[in-house]
Amino acid sequence: MTRKTIAPRKAVLAVCLPLGILLAGCTPATPVPAPTVEWSPSAPTGPYEDTDWVQAIRAYNLESALASNSHDLTSPALAEVTSSLDISLMADRLRQSAEDGEFRFYPGPVPLEVVDLTEDGDSARVTGCRASTAWLISKDHPEPSTDDATEAVYNLVRAESGEIRVESIGGSDIPCDLSDAAVGLFDPQPDLTATYSPDDVKEP
């Protein structure tokens, strides 16, 4: 089995010095690397993977998973690939999960096998087979699963700046097969014992 490792963006934390030397300003700490993604058997392949539309979806699946796991939705990388409304809805879901005491995490980007792409000027509709919520892991469900997958439609738009955003994702009850799809897992995996409060959720 071959694996291809992709390193996502790095998160940089800044720490300020004590008040007595505050005038010296803030000194950036050592960059804290985000998890890498290890694909098995290899990174996604197919006739649509080289299109900027599908690349935007791959970026969205990665950035939304990282943001959800850290309950921090302020990443510029996330804002580049989705709408402010979608980010707000993500924040609402995370706060509700915290209130309910249900802490679930992404073991990697949501597995997706693209089967069709339709372009219409500055918009596109991408149809694929997408893993269900069984992909999420928790203390009570530590192993992700792609056995339960359904057809989904990603609606994308290209802004005047050229950036492509995922405007919406339409789900369905139509089952599909992900047995041959590329699966990417974070290294390291999220801490399944971690908890957070609704106030810990950050959004722009």
Q: 55 or 7: which carries more pLDDT confidence? A: 55
CB atoms within 10 A of CB 43: 17
Q: Of 39, 40, 58, which Cα lies nearest the Cα of 48? A: 58
Residue 153, both tokens: 């439609």
**Quick one: pLDDT band at residue 31, thresholds 50, 70, 90?**
low
Residue 91 to residue 190: CA distance in whole angstroms: 18
Query: Do residues 183 and 167 make contact, with C-beta atoms less than 8 angstroms apart?
Result: no
**Quick one: pLDDT band at residue 13, thresholds 50, 70, 90?**
very low
**Predicted local confidence at residue 11, as pLDDT:** 43
**Predicted local confidence at residue 34, as pLDDT:** 84
Q: Above pLDDT 90, what percent of the chain?
A: 80
**Predicted local confidence at residue 33, as pLDDT:** 74
Total domains in the fold of the chain: 1
Q: Is the pLDDT of residue 82 over 60?
A: yes
Interval 16-37 mean pLDDT: 56
Residue 79 to residue 76: CA distance in whole angstroms: 5
Interval 69-89 mean pLDDT: 95
What is the tally of helices (H) and strands (E) in the chain? Answer: 3, 12
**Predicted local confidence at residue 19, as pLDDT:** 40
> Which residues make beta-bridge pairs with 32?
11
**Predicted local confidence at residue 17, as pLDDT:** 38
Triad 57, 64, 45: Cα angle to 5°: 35
Q: Is the pLDDT of residue 57 over 70?
A: yes
**Quick one: pLDDT band at residue 171, thresholds 50, 70, 90?**
confident
Task: State the alpha helices, DSSP H only, in the chain.
Answer: 52-70, 76-81, 84-100
Interval 48-63 mean pLDDT: 97
Averaged pLDDT of the chain = 88
**Quick one: pLDDT band at residue 140, thresholds 50, 70, 90?**
very high
Interval 3-24 mean pLDDT: 44
pTM: 0.83
Contacts of 17 (CB under 8 A, 6+ apart): 24, 25, 26, 27
B/e letters for 133-171, b = 16+ CB within 10 Å, e = fewer, are eebbbeeeeeebbbeebebbbbebbbeeeeebbbeebee
Interval 101-129 mean pLDDT: 97
Task: State the alpha helices, DSSP H only, in 72-152.
Answer: 76-81, 84-100
Residue 190, both tokens: 């999220």
Integer CA distances (angstroms), 151 to 76, 109, 157, in order: 29, 17, 20
> Which residues make beta-bridge pairs with 169?
154
* Residue 161: domain span: 4-200
Q: Is the pLDDT of residue 23 over 50?
A: no
